[in-house]
């Protein structure tokens, strides 16, 4: 490459990287993956090294990316917040190790930590009290976000103990745990707001909000990874982090020390396999020299410390082609666009379909038929399209436009003001809605009508034998026998199971009829407070919201349900068939009051009892089952493979964690 070609290429790379820095650090809207960014940066650094005549102190290679928001007061970091050099292979880690050993002629330890995918923060403590919180900024200066950080409940305002230095700085990563992020997005969508793309963008954007009261409503958390100060208790990184735990800082239990690279490699391989089990996102592993004196000896280059490096996992994001877009109709009428993709493997599974969420998301992506799209698994579970590679777009390709009519019945779609979803208003005659409601009604946790699956429901609907859940109780065996893949025995079992469903308790009937936002646990709570469907129908807004766990949204949905004549007619019809619409008929006699005024959250699997049996035992002894851990929870009853989010929440709130054996001893 001659000098002129190199100059043009360098200028282009600098401009492109500067733009990506702005998108990532300022707008929190990255346009490319970390891997692609690192490859572009490597190209630039290689060219600048080969052609030093084009050196520029303002090149992106000479500085850390900038996330400064001019609205906040700017504060200079006493020690620059450098970014880490990245590697994607063990060979590069071996080269890193060799460079260190050339300069250090003594034994040393490595420390490995999970690389949290959030936004960096620096906290300064004086005499055990938080005095300042500053973002990374450009590495030299950052935004003072102290007021916002004070709202994060897991960050200590006053330290515990008395063996901390009078003045020190601790650095960490502001994150939003995955379960909290998913719950927050569900709440945003319910209010008609756009969901966040990922926890990292959400935490970064939240930290820069001007109203700290709004920040307090977001589920921010913080994990700490570095301490800086003149009078720290130890002369090594690992030991100081352990000390910080005693001062009430949240330090990951997964930090480890190693004598050589073999331990580092094992650690990386372990977390590359197990990262899906963590309640927060990570994108790699950080490797550091443990000794502070050796860190000082090795020093830093303009962009990164020479004593640390990050090993980044290859992103769980792939490229494939969009073949088509179809639309699903949910039982509540909500229309969901679904991308039909060329089959592609993500995290070990073949993906052919992916959610496009709603019309706003399609417009935001500016997606065209035939586009090359980026697909990843939301929370590593649900596939979703997260971007488009427009450089491969075929000229003249047709943009995806959200449909205007229901694919199930042809009715014009509506979209309520302030909501993100379109829905079909034809709930009485729209086939997908009708079948969806019936499938929910017969499900195991609802009426538990066996022998009726999705295909059989489809056949019954096709043959005009059912149009709503009430029609199930008018079915006759002779109507079912002639149907495809059924017969005498199957028909007998279906009719028998329908008849048995009349004994299903009120709480499950309430869940089965499908009031929006009334799930299994909420239905049980309502049935405990309002002992019949009549009492619930006549309850006003204040009476509903006065029940624990019943918020405004649920109360409004219940009231709206009973205002519709079709729903009142259905309730009367179910009464006439003898379904249990009063709670007193099925309330079991208490065995004891040993668990009176105690509430339990259940997580995991149990050896001696099923989850349903455990729940029943709690109620038989006067206790209460609740769905989510809160400050009012008495115990988290945890079996094998408990949910990490519930464990984490219980730890934060100092809720006692109880084993199955411990629980059984309580009720003996």
Which range among 122-136, 191-205, 345-359, 596-610 has the greatest average pLDDT? Answer: 122-136
Does any domain span residue 67?
no
Rounded Cα distance between 564 and 2, Å, is: 77
Tell me, yes or no, whether 608 lies in a domain: yes
Which pLDDT tens digit goes with each residue over 148-170?
Answer: 888 888 888 888 888 899 999 99
284/194 same-domain check: yes
Judge whether residue 585 has pLDDT over 60. no
Residue 64: predicted pLDDT: 45
Same domain, 554 and 662: no
What pTM was estimated for this model as a whole?
A: 0.47
Does residue 591 fall inside a structural domain?
A: no
CATH of the domain at 658: 3.40.50.10190
CA-CA distance, 346 to 318, in Å (whole number)? 7
> Are residues 137 and 284 both part of a single domain?
yes
User: 16, 81, 4: which is closest to 43 by C-alpha?
Assistant: 16
d(Cα 339, Cα 359) in Å, to the nearest integer?
A: 13
- Provide the pLDDT for residue 337: 95
Choose the final residue of a domain: 13, 40, 62: 62
Q: How far apart are the first and last CA of the chain?
A: 82
Mean pLDDT of all residues in 308-330? 89
Whole-number Cα distances in Å, 172 to 114, 264, 280, 383: 12, 22, 14, 30
Number of domains in the chain: 5
Query: What are the angstrom distances between the C-alpha of 357 and each of 190, 195, 255?
Result: 13, 9, 37
- Indicate if 495 and 388 belong to the same structural domain: no
Last residue of a domain, one of 272, 290, 312: 312
Cα dihedral 298/299/303/309 (nearest 10): 40
Considering the domain boundaries, does residue 69 fall inside one?
no
* Whether the Cβ atoms of residue 228 and residue 182 lie closer than 8 Å to each other: no
How high is the pLDDT of residue 223? 94
320 and 394 together in one domain? yes
Facing residues of 115 across strands? Answer: 284
Pick the catalytic residue from 115, 435, 437, 646.
115
- Quote the domain boundaries for residue 408: 316-424
Residue 460 in contact with residue 537, Cβ under 8 Å?
Answer: no
| pLDDT tens string 278-314 | 999 888 999 999 999 999 999 887 568 899 999 988 7
Looking at the fold, whether 443 and 542 belong to one and the same domain comes out as yes
Query: Quick one: which H or E segment has residue 325?
Result: strand 317-329
DSSP codes joined into one string, 146-213 = HHHHTT-TTS-SB-SSS-S-SEEEEEEEEE--HHHHHHHHHHHHHTTPPPPS-HHHHHHHHHT-S-HH
- 551 and 660, same domain (yes or no): no
Cβ neighbours around 211 below 10 Å, total: 10
Q: What is the pLDDT of residues 620-667, one digit of tens each?
A: 898 888 877 888 888 989 887 777 778 778 877 878 888 888 898 888
Q: Are residues 435 and 420 in the same domain?
A: no
Domain boundary among 397, 424, 451: 424
pLDDT recorded at residue 348: 53
For residue 641, indicate whether it is catalytic. no
- Taking CA atoms, 74 is separated from 23, 157, 206, 363, 368, in Å, by 20, 22, 18, 36, 43
Structure tokens that stand for 28 in this block: 């929190």
Confidence of residue 584 (pLDDT cuts 50, 70, 90): low
Lowest-pLDDT range, 145-149, 313-317, 353-357, 389-393?
A: 313-317
Give residue 216's pLDDT: 83
308 and 370 assigned to the same domain: no
Tokens 């030299």 belong to: 140
Q: For residue 27, what pLDDT is reported?
A: 56
What rounded mean pLDDT belongs to the chain?
87
Counts for the chain of helices (H) and strands (E), in that order: 24, 20
């Amino acid at each position: 490459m001659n000098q002129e070609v190199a100059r043009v290429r360098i200028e282009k790379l600098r401009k492109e990287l500067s733009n990506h820095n702005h998108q990532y650090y300022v707008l929190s809207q990255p346009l490319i993956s970390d891997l692609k960014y690192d490859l572009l940066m490597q190209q630039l650094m290689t060219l600048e090294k080969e052609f030093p005549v084009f050196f520029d102190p303002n090149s992106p290679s000479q500085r850390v990316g900038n996330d400064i928001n001019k609205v906040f007061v700017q504060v200079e970091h006493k020690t620059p917040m450098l970014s880490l050099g990245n590697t994607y292979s063990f060979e590069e880690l071996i080269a890193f190790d060799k460079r260190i050993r050339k300069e250090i002629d003594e034994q040393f330890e490595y420390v490995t930590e999970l690389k949290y995918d959030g936004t960096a923060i620096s906290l300064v403590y004086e005499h055990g009290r938080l005095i300042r919180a500053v973002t990374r900024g450009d590495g030299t200066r950052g935004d003072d976000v102290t007021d916002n950080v004070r709202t994060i409940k897991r960050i200590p305002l006053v330290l515990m103990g008395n063996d901390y230095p009078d003045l020190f700085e601790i650095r960490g990563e502001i994150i939003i745990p995955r379960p909290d992020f998913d719950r927050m997005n569900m709440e945003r969508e319910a209010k008609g707001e756009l969901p966040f793309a990922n926890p990292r963008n959400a935490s970064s954007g939240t930290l820069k909000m001007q109203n700290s009261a709004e920040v307090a409503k977001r589920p921010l958390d913080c994990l700490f990874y570095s301490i800086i100060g003149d009078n720290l208790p130890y002369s090594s990184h690992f030991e100081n982090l352990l000390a910080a735990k005693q001062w009430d800082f949240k330090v990951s239990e997964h930090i480890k020390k190693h004598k050589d690279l073999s331990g580092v490699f094992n650690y990386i391989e372990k977390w590359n396999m197990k990262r899906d089990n963590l309640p927060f996102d990570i994108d790699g592993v950080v490797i550091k020299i443990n000794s502070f004196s050796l860190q000082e000896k090795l020093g830093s280059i303009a962009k990164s410390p020479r004593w640390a490096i990050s090993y980044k996992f290859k992103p769980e994001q792939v490229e494939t082609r969009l073949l088509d877009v179809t639309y699903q109709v949910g039982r509540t009428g909500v229309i969901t666009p679904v991308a039909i993709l060329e089959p592609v493997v993500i995290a070990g599974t073949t993906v052919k379909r992916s959610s496009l969420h709603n019309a706003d998301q399609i417009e935001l992506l500016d997606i065209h038929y035939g586009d090359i799209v980026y697909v990843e698994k939301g929370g590593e579970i649900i596939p979703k399209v997260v971007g488009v590679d427009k450089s491969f777009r075929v000229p003249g390709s047709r943009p995806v436009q959200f449909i205007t009519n229901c694919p199930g019945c042809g009715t014009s779609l509506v979209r309520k003001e302030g909501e993100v979803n379109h829905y079909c208003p034809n709930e009485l005659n729209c086939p997908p809605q009708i079948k969806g409601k019936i499938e929910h009604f017969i499900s195991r946790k609802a009426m538990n009508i066996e022998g009726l699956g999705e295909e059989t429901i489809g056949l019954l609907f096709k043959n005009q034998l059912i149009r709503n859940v009430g029609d199930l109780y008018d079915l006759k065996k002779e109507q079912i026998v002639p149907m495809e893949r059924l017969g005498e025995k199957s028909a007998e079992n279906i009719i028998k199971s329908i008849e048995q469903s009349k004994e299903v308790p009120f709480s499950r009937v309430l869940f089965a009829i499908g009031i929006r936002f009334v799930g299994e646990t909420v239905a049980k709570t309502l049935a405990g407070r309002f002992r019949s469907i009549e009492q619930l129908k006549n309850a006003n807004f204040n009476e509903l919201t006065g029940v624990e766990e019943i918020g405004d949204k649920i109360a409004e949905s219940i009231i709206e349900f009973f205002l519709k004549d079709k729903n009142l007619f259905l309730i009367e019809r179910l009464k006439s068939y003898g379904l249990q619409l009063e709670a007193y008929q099925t309330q079991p006699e208490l065995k004891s009051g040993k668990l009176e005024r105690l509430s339990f959250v259940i997580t995991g699997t149990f050896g001696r009892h099923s989850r349903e049996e455990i729940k029943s035992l709690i109620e038989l002894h006067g206790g209460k089952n609740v769905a989510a851990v809160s400050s009012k929870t008495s115990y988290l009853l945890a079996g094998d493979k408990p949910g990490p989010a519930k464990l984490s929440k219980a730890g934060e709130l100092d809720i006692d964690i109880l084993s199955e054996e411990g629980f059984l001893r309580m009720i003996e």
